[in-house]
Every structure is written in C-alpha cells, then in structure tokens.
Chains A and B, each alone.
Chain A
Amino acid sequence: MTWTPAEIRGWLDAVKDPEVPVVSVVELGVVRKVLVDGDAVTVEITPTYTGCPAMKVMEEEILACLAEHGVTNARVQTVFREAWTTDWMNDEAREKLRAYGIAPPQHLGDPGLVTLRRNVPVVCPRCGSHQTIRQSEFGSTACKALYTCRECREPFDYFKAI
C-alpha cells in the first residue's frame, strides 16, 4: 500500500488550525512538504510563530489524521526554511477567515520585505468599513492583532501580515 503526496495533502485539508478552526494546515501553509518513502510518510511543517502553542496540537492532529487513513509509519518534522508568511494563504482561505470574523492578512508582496509601517486600512470583517482603529498589535493569539470598527462599533481580530 502506498500513497501519493497529493493524496495525503488532500487528507490533511481536514486538519484545522485549533485556534482558527476554519482554515486547514494546508491552506495556512504550515504543511510544507509531504514525503513518501514506501510505507513511511514524513510531513514537514513550519511554525507560524516560533512560540505558537497551537503547533504541537497541529502536529498531533496531523499524525492522528494519517493514522485514520492507515498510515502508521508517520512522522512530523519542523522546518524553518522558508520562514512562514501570511502571503501563502490563498484568497479562498482569506475569505474563510473574513466570514469567521477575522480580518484576513494584507498582502506583503515580496516576502523578503516585511514592511512594518502599514498605511492600508484594515477592513472590518463584519460591515466592510475602512474606519477601523488598532487597539493593540498583540491579540488573543500570536498571529492576531486587536482592532475596533468605528462604524459598527464591533471589536475584531486582524490576522497580522508577516
């Protein structure tokens, strides 16, 4: 019995980020590579933030997901290169975030140039207003910042672009 990396990626689409349960580890770009060697499967993942406590959970859930599909000889390996960037999230994943109430990350463009001064307003995921203010650069998880919408008055999370 052997599997293709594409097939395994398909299975892993069922493994969601425990803190943002609408996007999968594949959509997030956390899963970098799937290597198949006979019955041995290695999944390379890269952390969103080095200290993200959700990484351990994702690792366990990836292994559990593989076991469900009959892969018993599996391991998850953490790699740091290339450094994770929110630019790896496609439009579909961004829309899922927005529908869930999290403002999706803005595009950085060239991943080498992490610009820290943002002039583009963050759009409120609830009412679409551009009249939003940043309350805090650091939110409920490492990957989010806290914003408030001036129009609908709702506070919301913004998925930081890195």
Chain B
Amino acid sequence: MTEARAQAAIAAGVAPTGPTAGVAGNPLFEYLCRMGDDRLVLGHRLSEWAGHAPILEEDIALSNFALDFVGQAAALLKLAGEVEGKGRDEDALAYHRDENEFRNVLLVELPRGDFAFTMVRQYLFDAFDVLALERLVKSRHEVLAGIAAKALKEAKYHARHSGEWVVRLGDGTEESHRRTQAALDALWSYPSEFFVADGVDAAMVEQGIGLDLPSLKAPWEITVRETLTRATLTVPNDPRIVRGGRLGRHSEHLGHMLAQMQILPRSHPGAQW
C-alpha cells in the first residue's frame, strides 16, 4: 500500500491491512497503543468484577489486577501520546478515541462471562504477557523497557494466580470442570491473535524496540498446555486464527464497553473532581 493510500484509509477510518499496515503512520505510536489498549480493555473488564466476585478475596484480587493493568495502560498510552506529538495524553487516548481506533486483541474485549471464563481468559493472557514482557525488558527504547520491567513483576503475580485458579477450577467439582472446559473451548482460538505479526511489528523488531511475536507461540503453548493438563482440561482442536483487533476491527462487545467506560469524560469534557 502506498503512503497516500494508507493515509487516505486512516483518514476514512478504515485501518489499512496487509504487511505494511500502520507503517505509513507512526509504527511506535501504533505499537504502544496496541500494548496499552490490551491492558486498558482487560483492566476495565476485570474492574467489572468489583463487588461481584464469588468470594471477597477474589473481589480484592481482581480489583488489584485491574489496577495493575490500568496503571500499565496509563504509562504506555502516556508514552504513546508523547511519541505521537499531537498533544494527546493518556486520558485523551483512553477516553476520546472511538472503537475503530482501539488496537487491543479481541480476547480482552469479550464480556467477562462467569468466573471460570474470566480466569481462563486471564491465564491465556497472563502466560503471553510474562513471555512478551521478559523480552521487552531488553527493548532499545529505554522508557518502554522500564515500563516492561515494572509490569513484568506484576505479570508474574498475575500468571501464578490465574494459573492456580485454572487448575483449581478444572480439577475441581463436576460443575467447575464443566464451566472451565466450556470457557476454554470458547476462548482457545483467540490467543492466536497475539502471535500474528504485521508491518508495525516488523518495523519495531528492526529498530530493536519490539519483539518477534511468532517466536513466542511455541513457549506459550508449552506453558499453557502444561497448566491445562494439570487442570484435567482437554485442549480443543480449534485451528482458527482470530484477528482484527490490532487493525481496529472489533467484535460488537467493545463498543458497549467503551460507551460505559467513556461516557463521563465524553459528556463532561475536562471535568475535574
């Protein structure tokens, strides 16, 4: 795609696709939005459990998770705004972008479902997150490497906690096993989107900033399959590749979530308390 066509596509609100997607714009900005949006959307989904989790300890744990993810998102989107250089800060990016400008993977925007669904989704994400952050700690971009080092400490806690729950629920009662297996069946194809690299990723790898996503697939699968086996769960045979979120093409769920997340700053721009 030529730069002019890509710019026209962006202006029309249609994200360009193909190997040069996003390169015509600012790949680092795009990259940071992808990372930030994963965390912002997942953090918001987790926050929906506040006051609703099955036990008090989990209510607190999920709120803690949510805080970590929203905090990481704020740091990444702040940096994205600086890289973009158009005066947008983390709040402008979080609250004043439309659905098709969000770059999160589809996995994180799915409604929270039951507790088993939330924990399986969380574990699939956390297992990837630890691997990705371990590599990003070595990024040539010093601020990004710093954020990754901080986030990695949190991610290790997350992965342990969500992994323990997947095992406990899978290898639990008949009902918890049934629900966890159902969640896994519904979710299994989604993480494939983590490992799809496009022009943005290629540019970031070339500059020593980003990581080689496809290379994470094998270690991720080894870790996850080991946990699922311990959880007595059956790994689904679902070869579908899910994608779209990184290019701004989302499921119907994200719009509803953003409506709730963004209504206050959109109704009262600049409101303070």
Chain A residues in the interface with B (C-beta under 8 A): 46-47, 49-53, 78-84, 114, 116, 135-140, 142, 146, 160, 162
Residues of B within 8 A of A49 (CB): 67-68, 71, 154
Q: A50-B75, A137-B157, A138-B64 are in contact. List 8 more A-B contacts (CB 8 A).
A: A50-B147, A52-B71, A84-B150, A114-B153, A137-B161, A138-B57, A138-B60, A142-B67
B140 is an interface residue with CB less than 8 A from chain A: no
Structural contact, B61 and A50, CB atoms closer than 8 A: no
Q: Which residue of A lies closest to B57 (CB)?
A: A136
Structural contact, B153 and A162, CB atoms closer than 8 A: yes
Partner of B145, one of A52, A81, A84: A81
Given known A50-B75, A83-B146, contact A137–B67 (CB-CB < 8 A) = no
Residues of B within 8 A of A46 (CB): 150
B151 is an interface residue with CB less than 8 A from chain A: yes
Q: Which residue of A lies closest to B61 (CB)?
A: A138
Interface of chain B: mostly helix, strand, loop or mixed:
helix
Question: Given the complex of chains A and B, what is the CA–CA distance between A139 and B151 in angstroms?
Answer: 19
Question: Given the complex of chains A and B, what is the CA–CA distance between A79 and B144 in angstroms?
Answer: 11
22 A-B pairs whose Cβ atoms sit less than 8 Å apart in the complex: A46-B150, A47-B71, A49-B67, A50-B68, A51-B68, A52-B67, A79-B146, A80-B146, A80-B147, A81-B143, A82-B149, A83-B146, A83-B150, A114-B152, A114-B156, A116-B160, A136-B57, A136-B61, A137-B61, A137-B160, A140-B60, A160-B157
Partner of B71, one of A51, A79, A82: A51
Interface of chain A: mostly helix, strand, loop or mixed:
loop
Q: Which residue of A lies closest to B64 (CB)?
A: A138
Count of A-B residue pairs with CB < 8 Å: 81
B69 is an interface residue with CB less than 8 A from chain A: yes
**B37-79 interface bits toward A, Cβ cutoff 8 Å, 1 = contact, 0 = none:** 0000001000000000000010011011111111110110000
Residues of A within 8 A of B68 (CB): 49-51, 142
Question: Given the complex of chains A and B, what is the CA–CA distance between A82 and B149 in angstroms?
Answer: 8
Residues of B within 8 A of A114 (CB): 152-153, 156
Structural contact, A80 and B75, CB atoms closer than 8 A: yes
